[in-house]
């Protein structure tokens, strides 16, 4: 590195924020979640749901463990009309019993097939003399612990033809968030927003994507993030590939920086998009930034209880179309499968429903929506991912609003 560039680099001082670990979910709230899923089980004709997706297990039990990251001895859970049972490896017993829990627990020796055998035996004991109607959390937007042995074992137990996906019932519960959940999301957004601003303030021309990504990822943890999947951070001038991991590409004058966070607080991820520019933007870029930001906020304010997601999309498309005509990123067309202005989010990064033309789910108080239209034009990218909590009489912004002026790296 030459001396002139080295002297221009602003040293980054990493500072740890004074933020406490996230609180336990109150037992009253966990009880509410359990009552709601039991109502939905009754509506869908299910006697038992087996949970294999870590997000579902945590949502109903508030059990958090570093062992979730291992495949060999996984956790499962099971919900019936009367019981909530966590299944874990025998070596987890001291931790499970370390404090009061809102569930009972059963333990297995061995590996995943031993866990499944224990689940099957437990269901047989609970429904002795009866073939229950069984659901498992395999389905859209849920990535449970896939196992043919689990499917085969549950089919042997279930009434003929009565093993089915429990995801419709689970999503009907999870799509309605409580104020407690909303506040966890709000904290996650604050953590990531501040990390972006802190690291952009110390960024410089010539640094690599990977260097900035490492700084930003580290700062999210110092700000209070409890976990963080790798998030995309890329530099570009009209050549954006949004899923690409950070590389050794160096920041050049005129580049745009695009980042999309994944850091969590209390298990709830931020999913927050931010942008910046290397060098002062041209007047047309400032105008485009302002226009996209204004329309994004207008789109947020279209969200209200009683309309469907499709209703929102069609109303929003009229606001967005004047900008979209010159847009290289043409996902929001209304004709393309999967087109949408945004999505719901909670303990999962992306959850249904979608703010798209084919989603007829009614918007209800308690839903959380991410609104994130994207405009690419003449090498620049403009995107503002704002997040709102739907109230009885409007919305509450969970994200600190994106800055009125584009952040600039000098």
The pLDDT score that the predictor gives to residue 335 is 57
Do residues 228 and 220 make contact, with C-beta atoms less than 8 angstroms apart?
A: yes
Q: Where are the domains of the chain?
A: 27-174, 179-409
Secondary structure in 3-state letters for 121-173: HHHHHHCCCCCCCEEECEECCEECCCCHHHHHHHHHHCCCCCEEECHHHHHHH
Query: What would the DSSP string read from start to end of 262-278?
Result: -EEETTEE---EEEEEE
Angle at 146 between CA 34 and CA 242, to 5 degrees: 95
One digit per residue, the tens of pLDDT, for the chain of length 410 reads 455 444 455 555 666 777 899 999 999 999 999 999 999 999 999 999 999 999 999 999 999 999 887 888 999 999 999 999 999 999 999 999 999 999 999 999 999 999 999 999 999 999 998 999 999 999 999 988 889 999 999 999 999 989 999 999 999 999 999 999 999 999 999 999 999 999 999 999 999 999 999 999 999 999 999 999 889 999 999 999 999 999 999 999 999 999 999 999 999 999 999 999 999 999 999 999 999 999 999 999 999 999 999 999 999 999 998 888 777 765 555 556 668 999 999 999 999 999 999 999 999 999 999 999 999 999 999 999 999 999 999 999 999 999 999 999 98
Same fold, 27-174 and 179-409: no
Phi, psi of 192 (to 5 degrees): -75, -40
Instruction: Give the domain 179-409 fold.
Output: Creatine Amidinohydrolase (3.90.230)
| 27-174: CATH class | alpha beta
Q: Using a CB cutoff of 8 Å and minimum separation of 24, what contacts does 323-326 make? A: 323/291, 323/292, 323/295, 323/373, 323/375, 324/375, 326/377
The pLDDT score that the predictor gives to residue 387 is 98
When computed from its CA atoms, the radius of gyration of the chain, rounded to whole angstroms, is: 23
Angle at 375 between CA 293 and CA 303, to 5 degrees: 50
The pLDDT score that the predictor gives to residue 301 is 97
Q: Report d(CA 25, CA 183) in Å as an integer.
A: 12
The pLDDT score that the predictor gives to residue 22 is 95
The pLDDT score that the predictor gives to residue 240 is 92
């Amino acid at each position: 590195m030459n001396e002139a560039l080295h002297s221009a680099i602003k040293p980054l001082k990493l500072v740890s924020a004074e933020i406490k670990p996230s609180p336990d979910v109150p037992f009253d709230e966990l009880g509410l979640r359990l009552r709601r899923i039991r109502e939905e089980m009754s509506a869908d004709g299910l006697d038992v749901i087996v949970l294999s997706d870590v997000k579902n297990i945590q949502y109903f039990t508030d059990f958090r463990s570093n062992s979730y990251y291992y495949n060999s001895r996984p956790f499962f859970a099971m919900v019936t009309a009367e019981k909530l049972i966590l299944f874990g490896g025998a070596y987890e017993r001291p931790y499970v019993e370390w404090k009061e829990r809102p569930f009972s627990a059963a333990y297995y020796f061995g590996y995943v097939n031993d866990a499944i055998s224990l689940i099957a035996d437990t269901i047989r004991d609970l429904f002795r003399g009866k073939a229950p109607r069984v659901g498992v959390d395999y389905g859209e937007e849920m990535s449970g612990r896939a196992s043919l042995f689990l499917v085969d074992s549950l089919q042997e137990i279930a009434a003929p033809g009565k093993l089915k996906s429990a995801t419709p019932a689970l999503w009907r519960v999870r799509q309605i968030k409580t104020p407690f959940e909303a506040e966890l999301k709000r904290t996650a957004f604050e953590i990531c927003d501040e990390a972006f601003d802190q690291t952009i303030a110390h960024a410089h021309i010539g640094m690599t994507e990977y260097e900035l990504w490492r700084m930003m990822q580290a700062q999210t943890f110092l700000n209070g993030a409890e976990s963080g999947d790798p998030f995309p951070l890329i530099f570009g001038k009209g050549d954006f590939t949004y899923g690409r991991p950070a590389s050794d590409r160096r920041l050049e004058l005129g580049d745009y920086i695009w980042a999309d966070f994944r850091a969590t607080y209390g298990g709830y991820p931020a999913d927050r998009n931010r942008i910046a520019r290397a060098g002062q933007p041209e007047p047309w870029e400032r105008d485009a930034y302002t226009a996209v930001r204004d329309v994004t906020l207008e789109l947020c304010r279209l969200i209200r209880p009683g309309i469907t997601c499709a209703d929102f999309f069609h109303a929003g498309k009229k606001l967005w179309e004047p900008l979209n005509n010159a847009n290289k990123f043409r996902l929001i067309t209304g004709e393309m499968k999967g087109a949408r202005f945004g999505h719901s989010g909670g303990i999962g990064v992306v959850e249904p429903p979608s703010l798209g033309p084919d989603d007829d789910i009614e918007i209800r108080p308690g839903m959380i929506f991410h609104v994130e239209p994207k405009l690419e034009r003449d090498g620049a990218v403009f995107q503002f991912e704002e997040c709102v909590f739907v109230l009885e009489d409007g919305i509450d912004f969970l994200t600190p609003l994106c800055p009125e002026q584009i952040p600039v790296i000098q």
